Amino acid sequence: MKLEDIKKIAVMGAGDMGHGIAEVALLAGYKVALRDVEQRFVDNGLRRIGESLARLMRKKRISEEARKGMMGKIETFVDLGEAVNEADFVIEATPEVMDVKKGVFQELDKSAPEHAVLASNTSSMSITEIASITRRPEKVVGMHFFNPAVVMKLVEVIKGDKTNEETMQLTHDLAARMNKVPVRVEKDSVGFIYNRIGAPSLILLGILVDRRIAAPEEIDARMKTLGMPMGPYELLDYVGLDIVYHSSLYVAERLSSEYAPPQWLREKIEAGDLGKKTGKGIYDWSKGRPVIDLSRAREEFDATDLIAVQVNEATKLLEEGVVKSPDDIDKAMIHGGRAAFGPFQLARGIGYDKLAARCEELAKEYGVAAFKPTETLKKGNI
CB of 149 to ligand 3HC, least distance (A): 8
Between CA 261 and CA 31 the distance in angstroms is: 39
Is the CB of 152 or the CB of 199 nearer to ligand 3HC?
152
Q: Give residue number: closest CB to ligand 3HC.
A: 123
Q: Which stretch binds ligand 3HC (CB under 6 A): 54-62, 83-91, 180-188, 325-333?
A: 54-62
How far, in Å, CA of 27 to CA of 20, rounded? 11
Which DSSP category does 204 fall into?
H
Do 239 and 233 form a contact (C-beta atoms < 8 A)? no
Q: What's the closest the beta carbon of residue 126 comes to ligand 3HC, in angstroms?
A: 15
Least CB distance from residue 80 to ligand 3HC, whole Å? 23
Instruction: Please identify, using beta-carbon distances, which residue of 128 and 248 lies nearer to ligand 3HC.
Output: 248
Across the beta sheet with 181-185, the strand order is 74-77, 31-35, 8-12, 89-92, 117-120, 140-144, 154-158, 181-185
Contact region for ligand 3HC (CB under 6 A) — 51-59, 66-74, 216-224, 360-368?
51-59
* Residues of this chain, 143-162, that bind ligand 3HC according to CB under 6 A: 146-148, 150-152
Q: Which of 229, 279, 351, 367 binds ligand 3HC (CB under 6 A)?
A: 229
- 365: Cα within 13 Å, side-chain hemisphere: 13
Using a 10 angstrom Cβ sphere, with 0-12 exposed, 13-18 middle and 19 or more buried, the burial of residue 51 is exposed
- What pairing do the DSSP bridges indicate for beta strands 140-144 and 154-158? antiparallel
Residue 248 near ligand 3HC by CB under 6 A: no
Query: Which residue in 76, 167, 189, 195 binds ligand 3HC (CB under 6 A)?
Result: 195
Angle at which helices 194-210 and 232-239 cross, to 10° = 110
Spatial separation of the C-alpha atoms in residues 76 and 37, rounded to whole Å: 11
Report cis status (omega within 30 of 0) of the bond before 148. yes
Among 7, 40, 47, 55, binds ligand 3HC (CB under 6 A): 55
> Is 335 known to be catalytic?
no
Beta-bridge partners for 157: 143, 184
Min dist. Cβ of residue 243 to ligand 3HC (A): 5
Closest distance to ligand 3HC from the beta carbon of 351 (Å): 26
Closest to ligand 3HC by CB, 104 vs 116, is: 104
Is 47 a binding residue for ligand 3HC by CB under 6 A? The answer is: no
Task: Decide if residue 141 touches ligand 3HC (CB under 6 A).
Answer: no
The minimum distance between CB 20 and ligand 3HC, in angstroms, equals 7
Which segment (76-84, 228-236, 306-314, 356-364) binds ligand 3HC by CB under 6 A? 228-236
What DSSP string runs through 16-35? HHHHHHHHHHHHTT-EEEEE
For the segment 295-334, give every residue that binds ligand 3HC (CB under 6 A): none
Residue 150 one-letter amino acid: V
Cβ-count burial of 325 within 10 angstroms (0-12 exposed, 13-18 middle, 19+ buried)? exposed
Could you list the active site residues? 144
Can you give the binding site for ligand 3HC, defined by CB under 6 A? 52, 55-56, 59, 123, 146-148, 150-152, 195, 229-230, 235, 239, 243, 289, 336-338
